[in-house]
Amino acid sequence: MTGLAVDDAAWASAWRLRSPADKLLLSVGLVLCALLLPAWPGSVLVALTAVVLALGPARVPVRTFGRAVRAPLAFILLGALTSVVEVGRGLGWAPDAAAQAGGLVGHAVAGSAAVLLLATTTPMSDLLPALARLRVPAAVIEVASVTYRMLFVLLTSLSTIREAQTARMGHASIASSYRSSGMLAAAVLTRSWDRARRLQDGLAGRGMEAGLRVLPESLPSSHRFVAGTVAGLAALTAVSVLA
> pTM for this structure?
0.80
With beta carbons less than 8 A apart as the criterion, state whether 97 and 46 touch.
no
Q: Which residues contact 9 (CB under 8 A, 6 or more apart)?
A: 60, 61, 64, 65, 120, 121
- What is the amino acid identity at position 77? L
- Do residues 46 and 113 lie in contact, with contact meaning Cβ atoms separated by under 8 Å? yes
C-alpha distances in Å from residue 30, one per residue of 46, 61, 119, 168: 6, 21, 14, 49
Of the pLDDT bands very low, low, confident and very high (cuts 50, 70, 90), residue 70 is confident
| 102 compared with 199, residue with greater pLDDT | 102
Q: Which helix (H) or strand (E) holds 72?
A: helix 62-83
* Per-residue pLDDT band at 177 (split at 50, 70, 90): confident
Per-residue confidence (pLDDT) for residue 29, from 0 to 100: 94
Alpha carbons 232 and 159: distance in angstroms, whole number = 43
State residue 1's pLDDT score.
45
- Secondary structure (H, E, C), 153-172: HHHHHHHHHHHHHHHCCCCC
The span from the CA of 116 to the CA of 226, in Å, is 19
CA distance to 30, 78, 119, 230, per residue, from 46 (Å): 6, 22, 16, 14
**Span 120-171, pLDDT tens digits:** 999 888 888 888 888 888 778 877 887 887 788 788 878 888 888 888 887 7
Mean pLDDT, rounded, for 23-41: 91
What pLDDT shows up at residue 210? 57
Q: What does the alpha-carbon distance between residue 228 and residue 44 come to, in Å, rounded to a whole number?
A: 20
Q: Which residue has the higher pLDDT, 83 or 110?
A: 110
pLDDT band at 14 (very low <50, low <70, confident <90, very high): very high
Which amino acid belongs to residue 231?
A
Give the separation between CA 211 and CA 176, rounded to whole angstroms: 43
- Angle, vertex CA 158, rays to CA 155 and CA 164, nearest 5: 140
Q: Which amino acid is at 138?
A: A
- Cα separation of 192 and 188, whole Å? 6
CA nearest to 132, candidates 143, 141, 124, 123: 141
Q: Is the confidence at residue 112, as pLDDT, over 80?
A: yes
